[in-house]
Amino acid sequence: MRISTIAFANLKRRKGKAIFLTVGIAIGIGTVVALWGLSNSIKEEIGTQLDQFGANIVVVPQSNNLALDYGGVSVSSVSFDVQQLKNEDAVRVLDIPYRNRLSIIAPKILSAVTVEGRKVLLAGVDFKSEINLKRWWRIAGGKPGTDEDMLVGYEVARALSLIEPMAEGEIEPHAHADSHHTGADHTPFRIVRDRIQVAGREHPVAGIIAQTGGPEDRMIFGSLAHVQKLLGKPDQLSLIEVSALCKDCPVEDIVSQISERLPHAKVSAIQQSVRARADTVERLTRFSAVVSAVVLAIGALMIFTTMMGSIVERTKEIGVLRAIGFRRSHIIKELIIEVAAISTVGGLLGWGAGMLAGWLALPYFTETNVAFHIQPALALVAIAGGLVIGTLSSFYPIVRASRLDPSEAVRYV
């Protein structure tokens, strides 16, 4: 009689214990698979949200600064050998090997201008890129439709009397928004003027950026080409903001590649955004690993306890087998076949249950419609994990069973 035949016959005879062990392994593997799938989906959502939350790389012109001081007193600082960014540099950023990781390229030119007797910071931007980059903006009125249209920051609009507060209970005009994030307490207002004098020329006001608490509150935004012409600086840029999707690559690599393409520019990562994402992802990974380890440890303990009890119950059977000539290796092989069969089925069931549980639980842990990816290849990993857990947990009981003395059989006959 083949050893495998004896092993499967024992499993059929002890269906209850076999099912119990299978369910135990399935629960452990299923929990790990569900947590793994959930953590990956949550990390993807967090990564996407952080990638969309403004720029995480800034490109500025390269320059050298000389600080002058005497006796510890700073006199002045001088910038020399100042390079210049051009429109073509924004295009060259897309030539890097990691260009598929770049989400948004937002070139801009900045300059102080006189607006109705006030000094205001004017920014020339590509509105499509800028509005996609600043998803937390809420624009009252409308988005720019022509080259001369302007977007005005809240503080500037209030100082220039372009807006006035709304009465209590009055319905606020429609505001365009690309994100639920407003950045600051929103003060309801209405637009009372729709034209301003910028650099001696009258321009239509397309919309007002609602209060954000950021520097845009004190700025006016115009189309890049128009502002360059208005300032007499055609083709020139002050900086380029880059939003990079760094889920599978370090942002430092992208910074290095952009630096190689633009040797006349200084490229730096905004560390707060990068570190916030890295810390969040790391915490999620650690949490999932700890919970998975605890669940697997409980499952392994359950298998160990059940196998030890099974060995005690099968002392007579094992002793008889030893008495009729079965060697220790035969006993070990039989028990390993049983454990392997249970572990394989348990791992496969755990993978299916884990995938289903993760898919059902995902809407309760995420805010967006992030997809839950079902990976059939993970089933092989789940089966391998079940085999490892089952074998390691049963190692001592199996060795103990193989060492039973044949004389034990006489005691039970």
How is 342-401 classified by DSSP, letter by letter? HHHHHHHHHHHHHHHHHHHHHHHH-SS-------THHHHHHHHHHHHHHHHHHHHHHHHH
In this prediction, the residues of the chain whose per-residue pLDDT falls under 70 are 1, 43, 45-55, 63-82, 167-187, 245-249, 271-278, 280-281, 312, 322, 365-372, 404-413
Q: CA of 174: how far to CAs of 128, 135, 168, 221, in Å?
A: 20, 17, 17, 20
- Residues 40, 33: contact at Cβ < 8 Å? no
Give the global pTM.
0.56
The string of pLDDT tens digits covering residues 315-353 is 777 777 767 777 778 777 888 888 888 889 988 998 998
Domain boundaries, the chain: 3-50+279-412, 56-269
- What pLDDT shows up at residue 393? 81
For 295, half-sphere exposure in the C-beta direction (CA atoms, 13 angstrom radius) is 23
Residues 6+ apart with CB under 8 A from 71: none
| Dihedral sign from CA coordinates of 282, 283, 287, 293 | positive
- Residues 280, 246: contact at Cβ < 8 Å? no
Residue with tokens 């960014």: 85
**Whole-angstrom distance, CA of residue 88 vs CA of residue 107:** 10
Provide the 10 A C-beta neighbour count for residue 290.
11
- What pLDDT shows up at residue 126? 94
Q: How is residue 134 annotated by DSSP? A: B
**b/e burial code for range 118-140 (CB count within 10 A of at least 16 → b):** eebbbbbbbbebbbebbbbbbbb
- Residues 104, 132: contact at Cβ < 8 Å? yes
Residues 6+ apart with CB under 8 A from 176: 138, 139, 142, 143, 207
- What pLDDT shows up at residue 92? 92
The string of pLDDT tens digits covering residues 358-402 is 888 877 766 666 666 777 788 888 888 888 888 888 888 777 777
Helix (H, G, I), strand (E, B) or coil at 407: helix
